Amino acid sequence: MKNDVKNEKNTWDFSPIFSGDKDPMIIEKRGIDQKAGDTFVNKWKDRSDYLESPAVLVEALDEYETWARVNGPFNSEVYYFSLRTQQDLLNTELKASLNQALDRARKMQNNIQFFPMRVAKISVELQKTFLNYPGLKKYEHYLERLFEQAKYQLSEAEEKIMNLKEQSAHENWVHMVNSFISKEERKVLLEDGTKAIKSFSDFLSLTMSQNKKVRDSAAKAINEVLAEHAMLAEQEMNSVMGNKKVDDELRKFERPDSDRHLADDIDSEVVDALVKKVSEKFEISRKWYQLKAKLMGVPKLAYHERMVEYGHLTQKYSYDDSCRLVSKVFNDLDGDFGKIFDGFVKNNQMDVYPKKGKTGGAFCAAGAKTLPTYILLNHADKFQDVSTLAHEAGHGVNDELMKANLDALNFGSPLSTAEVASTFMEDFVTAEVVKTADDEMKLAILVKKLDDDVATIFRQTACYLFEQELHKNFREKGYLSKKEIGEIFQKNMGAYMGPAVEMSKGSENWWVYWGHIRNFFYVYSYASGLLISKSLQNSVKKDHKFVEKVKQFLSSGSSSSPKYIFAKMGIDITDGGFWEAGIKEVDDLLAETENLARKLGKI
């Protein structure tokens, strides 16, 4: 059957999954998946011997792993229609097909959820016996995680209640505020000097304009919208923080961020070491904003001017040119990296150009262990598109290395390290571009890089500290006003930005739209991912052979905790010195940028 999406260069080739949206194999595969799930449930639901005998648990886990790998909840139908929908957001038939597939997947997941929950509840007395059983060695860390999570699990019935209340107690609140803000429109000044009605997301983009009148106009619109919805956001934040407090008390978590660390398979001491070391180095981000203010020719930057673009990155990079550049860098780093990337290009696993109805931005989708990796781009021949290609292809390389080395229960990176491969590859590609750039372009690239690095490492760490103080104060007081939340926000943002960035009027409300703080405490992962990446980059620059250890790390997935994976590499991520090595890379980049700016007479 002819594919509904033309199988031509620069568009995804879905033939390894289905031949098109109406492929009869979709229904056939759906029946196979359902039968596989029912077979597993019927065989194991009424048994308890796998909770007492390690040998029987090996049999059960092997069958569960096979189900997860071939017929699991994120199956080929869900994967296919989720990707097809991203290609054509205006197609209601695709959306309907996706929703139906997701509904079936959720039911399947609910039916089979008894198994990991019961395994997690194996008695503490027997857990060591199971973990030491040779046949269970391949599932050792998977079991360790289940046993650790079990300490905070409630009964099966109570867990169902917790899941059911999540939407009304958290998701609906967040969606309400976000939807109200996203619908707001204001008339703002555009680059061409005209005024037009634009949306909130447009305002945010316009604050990066090099035209001060344009970015000030956008900031005024943002401040008006956020002030209008601050009271609603106050109610929302108190409600979701209250719901979290109840959840934490029921599960007996000691800290507000404990459940995040548990879910991400990272020790609190590792996150604490990271946050402590970055916050001790806030003078680097402060120095950066002092330099940027000088480059912009102002004594201080307004709060909304933190990310204003500098210089002109006018050189064009066609998709083919970008692929050749990324391929060269990946192959120079490691032959396997290059082979994987070249395969993405050759096998049409990238949807390249923007078009009507296609989702914006970029992503890498890995699906399950048995499904192909696909990368979505919106390539517009700009420098940013080269770094985006490298970033998403880095995720793809990570996914393919895990697929080759791990079973389905250990496949996937924990959030704490998910951005390592992407930023590792992106930085090496950026360095390659810088080699051939003239000084003006090089300065523009370095400024852009510092903007991104400072936002990822220092700003996200400041946000983490803001969250910690926010939840601490809420639990002490019982309720926080929008004024109190704004004061805590400005205090922590000011700490990392320093005196070169003004806490201008209206900035006290910029927490109102920051979605990160509603997905509690996950922002540390931006900093951890980039700092791990930079530390690994530093080791590769010193000794290229270290790339073998990088590949070992990228192949490890969830087979062990990040702490122990790095320990095998001779690295202690509980040591602040490890994080300092990554921070030094940013400090060195800042010094290079300042020297170049001085050489060009810009400061």
Asked if residue 7 has pLDDT above 60, the reply is no
Asked if residue 569 has pLDDT above 90, the reply is no
Q: Which of 151, 179, 196 is the last residue of a domain?
A: 151
Rg of the Cα atoms in the chain: 25
211 in helix, strand or coil?
A: coil
CATH number of 85's domain: 1.20.140.70
In a domain, 102, yes or no: yes
Q: How confident is the model at residue 8 (pLDDT cuts 50, 70, 90)?
A: low
Q: Which of 151, 170, 196 is the last residue of a domain?
A: 151
In a domain, 502, yes or no: no
The closest alpha carbon to 282, from 446, 495, 452, belongs to 495
pLDDT tens for residues 511-542? 999 999 999 999 999 999 999 999 999 999 99
In a domain, 231, yes or no: no
pLDDT tens for residues 345-361? 999 999 999 999 989 88
Q: Residue 582 — φ and ψ, nearest 5°?
A: -70, -40
Asked if residue 4 has pLDDT above 60, the reply is no
Taking residues 322-328, report their average pLDDT.
98
Q: pLDDT over 90 for what percent of the chain? A: 85
Residue type, 522: Y
Determine how many CB atoms are found less than 10 A away from the CB of residue 127.
16
Q: How confident is the model at residue 3 (pLDDT cuts 50, 70, 90)?
A: very low
Q: How confident is the model at residue 325 (pLDDT cuts 50, 70, 90)?
A: very high
Taking residues 245-252, report their average pLDDT.
96
Q: How confident is the model at residue 223 (pLDDT cuts 50, 70, 90)?
A: very high
Q: Whole-prediction pTM value?
A: 0.90
The token pair at 32 is 């196979």
Residue pair 233/512 in contact (Cβ under 8 Å)? The answer is: yes
Q: pLDDT over 70 for what percent of the chain? A: 99
Domain span including residue 94: 24-151
State residue 2's pLDDT score.
34
Dmax (CA) for the chain in angstroms is 77
Mean per-residue pLDDT over the chain, rounded: 94
In a domain, 234, yes or no: no
pLDDT tens for residues 128-175? 999 999 999 999 999 999 999 999 998 878 888 898 888 899 999 998
CA distance 288 to 594: 9
State residue 1's pLDDT score.
31
Q: What is the DSSP letter of 51?
A: G
CA distance 233 to 506: 15
Residue pair 361/368 in contact (Cβ under 8 Å)? The answer is: no
pLDDT tens for residues 12-71? 999 999 999 999 999 999 999 999 999 999 999 999 999 999 999 999 999 999 999 988
Give the 3-state secondary structure percentages of the chain, helix then strand then coil, rounded to 5.
70, 5, 30
State residue 157's pLDDT score.
85
Q: How confident is the model at residue 472 (pLDDT cuts 50, 70, 90)?
A: very high
β-partners of residue 189 are 195
Asked if residue 5 has pLDDT above 80, the reply is no
Q: Residue 374 — φ and ψ, nearest 5°?
A: -130, 140
In a domain, 494, yes or no: no
Would you list the DSSP string of 399-428? HHHHHHH--TTT-S--GGGTTHHHHHHHHH
Q: Which of 151, 185, 210 is the last residue of a domain?
A: 151
In a domain, 495, yes or no: no
CA distance 301 to 499: 9
Taking residues 322-341, report their average pLDDT.
98
- The b/e string for 144-161 (b: 16+ C-beta within 10 A; e otherwise) is ebbbebbeeeeeeeeeee
Q: Where are the beta strands (DSSP E) in 327-440?
A: 350-351, 363-365, 374-376
Q: Where are the beta strands (DSSP E) in 491-556?
A: 501-502
In a domain, 583, yes or no: yes
Beta strands across the sheet bearing 363-365: 350-351, 374-376, 363-365
pLDDT tens for residues 437-471? 999 999 999 999 999 999 999 999 999 999 999 99
Determine how many CB atoms are found less than 10 A away from the CB of residue 408.
18
In a domain, 77, yes or no: yes
- Total domain count, the chain: 2
